[in-house]
Amino acid sequence: MSDDDAADAASGSGRSVPVGVKLGSTRTVIALPDDHGTENRIIKTLTCMATYEDALTGEEKVLYGEEAAREYPDRVQYMLRSGLPEDGDRAEMTKKFFEALIEENDIPADSGVVYAIPTIDNPAGLDNLRAVIEESSIGLNLVESYPESLCGSIPAFGEDLEAIDEIFISVNMGSTNLEASAYRRGEQLAPFTTGAVTGNEVDRMIANYVEEETQGRVNVDTQTAREYKEEHADFVEFEPFTDIIQQPGGGTHEFTIERSVMDAVDEYLDDAVDELANTFLPELANDYMKVYQLALDRPIVLTGGMACIPGIVEEFEARLSEELNREIEATAAEQPDVAPTVGAQRIAARLVENS
């Protein structure tokens, strides 16, 4: 179903609005038809919140996203750092965050919502996330969830839902996990997850490498390291960059980063290829040999925030091809970090249309 069809479903026809949602460990993304019905409206924010007391009424107020991170860095909460709300307190924080996001952006309650869900073996965390989803004020007409790696692959295959009819491998390069799955006409096979190779670990590595590269003169936090990664990491044409920090005793210090960012992302990609080539793919071949053979003849789809680094798709192709000693092709949607939400919204549009 095209975006235009999805918008028609959301118009005055009486059908519920199709909405795609990804509650991510770093960012939450929501996709729904825009007011004109011509394309998706994308809402994207940091998955964090802070509460404060209204100075006049004493009422508790909620700030979320970039505003919370900027104004309350001392007590902002990133409640999905592990990918899921780990306990009741984090589940309640996630509910507050999600409701504030829904209210501020006027997400309609009369909606059919599909959530892109990570593949994580954590029943308690998944139950907490399910509670957040089911108790939200949207999705009164339909609530479904699909694997994030499947949703993220849909935009990479075309303008519709072609991925549902394909046999392929998807690799989700997320902040908290590296996930891989084979898909056979929408059926998830041999799901694999590891927390040993993550975007968050890259941020920590960058922070450590910056300290080493500057001989201990500069210490940056992981948020700054993430910003360096997102703004400067590039496998095609990385260029050294400068930044300025405030010195504790007064004054400023300007420094240049030449190696830290690319050393970290280069190690990440080597580790990701190693996990896929030596753990995931052998398990897939052992359990589903024919699917393994068919899937490797087709492009491997990369999704997630790390897949946004320029040149990583081509570099992944080259390194995995060398590791497997066979030609491998890879692909990604234009915006791999937004792709799971867009894919979820397309599924929601189809479900709404068929309901």
pLDDT digits (tens, 9 = 90+) for 218-249: 889 888 999 999 999 999 999 999 999 877 77
Q: Give the integer Cα–Cα distance in Å for 288 and 82.
A: 30
| Assigned token pair, 188 | 């998830």
Q: Give the integer Cα–Cα distance in Å for 83 and 80.
A: 5
Taking alpha carbons only, the member of 259, 271, 279 closest to residue 201 is 271
277: buried, middle or exposed (CB in 10 Å: 19+, 13-18, 0-12)? middle
pLDDT digits (tens, 9 = 90+) for 273-302: 999 999 999 999 999 999 999 999 999 999
* Model confidence, pTM: 0.88
Say what the pLDDT of residue 236 is.
96
Say what the pLDDT of residue 14 is.
60
Average of per-residue pLDDT across 297-311: 96
Mean pLDDT of the chain: 91
Say what the pLDDT of residue 274 is.
97
C-alpha angle 161-149-132 in degrees, rounded to nearest 5:
100
